[in-house]
Amino acid sequence: MKLYEKLAEELTEAVRRGVFAAGERIPSVRQASQQHGVSIKTVLHAYALLESRGIVETRPQSGYFVREAALNAFRPETRRTDGKARPPAAPAVPVAAEVDVSRLVLSTLRSIRAHDAVPFGSPYPDPSLFPWRRINQYANAIARRQASWNLIDDLPPGNPELIRQIARRYAENGMPVDPGELVITLGATEAINLSLQAVAKPGDTVAVESPTYYAMLHAIERLGMRAIEVATHPVDGIDIDALAQVIAKQKIAACMVMPNFQNPLGFRMPDARKQQLVELLAEHEIPAIENDVYQELYFGETRPSTLKSFDTQGLVLHCASFSKSLTASYRIGWALPGRYRAQVEKLKFLNTLTTPSVPQVAVADYLRQDGYDRHLRHVRKVYRQQASIMSAMVRRFFPAGTRISSPQGGYVLWVELPQSVDSMKLYQAALARSITVGPGMMFSTRNHFRHFIRLNYSYPWTAQSEAALKTLGELVAQMA
């Protein structure tokens, strides 16, 4: 199949699945060229083929739009013989350790709530960057329009329009997904927990990055499983050779990773290594739980690929949310669980029954009607600038022997302090001066990162934050 034919088939499938609705504009020629990594000439050939098949039509000065007739041609496939709509079909060497980091994380998060504390230790992005007023307006309008909700409407997999908007966003970014695979969750945290619960049982061993985001460790701890940490490179990601050695020596039920802008290291795993990781796990029939919550917060020109995009066997359970990029208060996330979709949907129903409708519809309305891409461009620009500022200030104020990560996206900086510095003692000393940090011990089941801290650079850089970072550097120098 030629490139333009392949692109045409992908877009036809997206229309068939309802990702693009009748009368809706598909990506422009230039957008499609960038998203799919093909030439403009290839896109024009593909769009001409779609037009000849009656899938799309051109509108002068406007672009290409899905024809109503195209959807009518697909509708018989989604209806039963009795004329009623058919529901969407579901697609078919280290030592393992007990996990107990929740108390430390909880006490750290509680300290961050102090109103006068500089939030370098916060795991959350600056909420002032989010269009929460606009989304609240949508929610209020929905609540007025619909005085009462039928609980049946809230049942998994979630609001159909929100599912369609999420699937459309993936399609526009060059990763076509089946809307029937999506399950809406209460943030990415629930998506991760449900995914882990679907593929492993209490007592099983789960491979994780080292350091790893503590929400992954929380999921393992909550379900009574064991974690085995695998060395992780600050640029290339999890050490695939080391993981292969672990797999050869013991039974691994699942592997949990953050290949894009990993928290706390901030790396973007190269595509070749993503593919290598997926192939290694597939060879051993090991599910991969992919936390891609920072997927939209890239500093480069294009959105990164995912493990899911290299998955051919349905073994990647892809988890994401809007909490880091659009609004944290509504807790809207989702899972693309591959072959485990039916089990994840069932667990969603058993665990939390539903995800509230109003937030789902409000976010769907915002995605359809407002400038999400414009908002994201602004957020990325702010984070990129503030990452540069904080990195420069750490180099300036912290003592010799300090090393920092080079985040390619997201909003956290990983700082290695001189080895004599205890990050828990630093945490206490900084808190006494109304400054919070994320101590490195939160990111491991063992004592591997005692002289590391994580810093949040999403908040505005002010004279107060510069003074706080200078104070932090002085404390580190004293301890060193």
* 3-state SS assignment for residue 167: helix
The answer as to whether 93 is a domain residue is no
Q: What is the CATH number of the domain that holds 56?
A: 1.10.10.10
Q: What is the CATH number of the domain that holds 339?
A: 3.40.640.10
pLDDT tens-digit readout, 2-16: 888 898 898 898 888
Residue 82: per-residue pLDDT: 40
User: For the ranges 20-24, 90-94, 386-390, which has the lowest average pLDDT?
Assistant: 90-94
pLDDT tens-digit readout, 161-184: 999 999 999 998 888 899 999 999
* Alpha-carbon gap, residue 204 to 223, rounded angstroms: 9
- End-to-end Cα separation, the chain, in angstroms: 62
Q: Which helix or strand (DSSP H or E) is residue 415 part of?
A: strand 412-416
Q: Does 27 lie in the same domain as 70? A: yes
Cis peptide before 123 (omega within 30 of 0): no
**345, pLDDT greater than 50:** yes
Contact predicate 166/321, CB 8 Å: no
pLDDT tens-digit readout, 38-81: 898 898 888 888 887 889 888 877 888 898 776 565 544 433 33
Instruction: Dihedral sign for Cα 36, 41, 42, 44, please.
Output: positive
Residue 112: per-residue pLDDT: 64
Q: Does 379 lie in the same domain as 363? A: no
If DSSP states are collapsed to H, E and C, what string results for 346-387?
Answer: HHHHHHHCCCCHHHHHHHHHHHHHCCHHHHHHHHHHHHHHHH
The answer as to whether 145 is a domain residue is yes
* Alpha-carbon gap, residue 243 to 235, rounded angstroms: 17
Per-residue pLDDT averaged across 280-302, rounded? 96
The answer as to whether 364 is a domain residue is yes
Q: Does 354 lie in the same domain as 384? A: no
pLDDT band with cut points at 50, 70 and 90 for residue 97: low
Domain count, the chain: 3
The answer as to whether 155 is a domain residue is yes
Q: Does 137 lie in the same domain as 24? A: no
Domain that holds residue 111: 102-129+374-479
Q: Does 309 lie in the same domain as 446? A: no
Q: Does 339 lie in the same domain as 262? A: yes
How does the average pLDDT of the chain come out, rounded? 88
pLDDT band with cut points at 50, 70 and 90 for residue 149: low
Q: Does 379 lie in the same domain as 303? A: no
The answer as to whether 167 is a domain residue is yes
Top-confidence residue, 97 or 82: 97
* Alpha-carbon gap, residue 396 to 295, rounded angstroms: 30
User: For the ranges 17-31, 288-302, 332-346, which has the lowest average pLDDT?
Assistant: 17-31
Question: HSE (CB half, 13 Å, CA atoms) of 470?
Answer: 7
Query: b vs e for 238-254, b when ≥16 Cβ sit within 10 Å of the residue's Cβ?
Result: bbbebbbebbeeeebbb
Q: Does 117 lie in the same domain as 45? A: no
Residue 92: per-residue pLDDT: 36
The answer as to whether 59 is a domain residue is yes
The answer as to whether 423 is a domain residue is yes
Q: Does 298 lie in the same domain as 268? A: yes
Q: Which helix or strand (DSSP H or E) is residue 476 part of?
A: helix 463-479
Question: HSE (CB half, 13 Å, CA atoms) of 361?
Answer: 16
Q: Does 169 lie in the same domain as 317? A: yes
User: For the ranges 58-72, 202-216, 387-401, 425-439, which has the lowest average pLDDT?
Assistant: 58-72
Residue 309: per-residue pLDDT: 95
Domain C-terminal end among 346, 371, 396: 371
pTM: 0.85
The answer as to whether 88 is a domain residue is no
Strand partners, 232: 238
* 3-state SS assignment for residue 333: strand
Residue 404: per-residue pLDDT: 97
